[in-house]
Structure 1
Amino acid sequence: MADEAYDHDRARAALERGEVMPLRAILDRVERDYPGKVVEVELEREHERWIYEIKVLQSGGALRKLEVDGRDGTVLGVKGRDRKREGSEGGKR
């Protein structure tokens, strides 16, 4: 619990200093371009840059992990897999 409180405090301080966009603004952008249910959000400091790591469960079972620049909301990368597609491909081989 102490680590979570510390992380929350770091995120709040970064927001107050204007180093990151509010989470709601980030999620609005993500939900528009990657519809689905947000299942996890983390804010991490990587190489002097704040990165939101957001996991989205999309319809059909696809799970996407997005890395989003905390300062301007730019999607830096998308990883993920489509479980439905993987299962059907495995049965065809």
Structure 2
Amino acid sequence: MSRTLLIGLVGVCAAALLAVGSIAAPHEDGWHEEKSAYEMAREAVARGEALPLHDVRRRLQSVAPGKIVATHYEFEFERWVYEFKIVDRAGRLQKIHLDAKTGELVMQSDY
């Protein structure tokens, strides 16, 4: 088998694996069809499993004051978290993870 053909096959296999990964997403009680982060957060708030974003943003400002430049809702650290990217008062970009259910700080790091 030629090297070019082998590289092409590896590329096709890698693309197929990436495509499969986008069909389903991990969930604390198994796998589910992919939904937008907005939909998952909204449903979790309605079920009482997550705090509303405005409450978590208030908590964020007490933990790490700064300008919010990005917000994500995702499953990390074996729990659902709100991830914020902020520019702090010193001008540094920070990544902050707050527990979606409690608002507690999970992780804070320079980005």
TM over 0.5: yes
The 1:57–1:16 alpha-carbon spacing in structure 2 relative to 1, beyond 3 Å, is same
Tell me the alpha carbon deviations over residues 31-81 of structure 1, each in whole angstroms, 9 at most, x when there is no partner: 122111011110012365211111110123111101110000010110106
Once the two structures are TM-superposed, the CA of residue 11 in structure 1 deviates from its matched residue by 1.3
> What TM-score, normalized by structure 1, do the two folds share?
0.74
Q: Can you give the 5+ residue segments of structure 2 that lack an aligned partner in the other structure?
A: 1-34
* Percent of pairs with identical residues: 34
Give 2:109's aligned residue.
79
Does residue 1:62 correspond to 2:92, yes or no?
yes
| Higher helix proportion (structure 1 or 2) | 1
Q: Can you give the 5+ residue segments of structure 1 that lack an aligned partner in the other structure?
A: 82-93
Which one has more relative contact order, counting CA pairs under 8 Å at least 6 apart?
1
Runs of 4+ in 1 over 4 A off after TM superposition: none
Distance 2:98 2:42 in 1: 17
Give 2:73's aligned residue.
43
Q: Secondary structure of the equivalent of 2:90?
A: helix
Contact 2:37 2:72 in 1 (8 A): no
Bigger radius of gyration among the two: 2
RMSD: 1.7
Distance 1:32 1:39 in 2: 17
Distance 1:65 1:47 in 2: 14
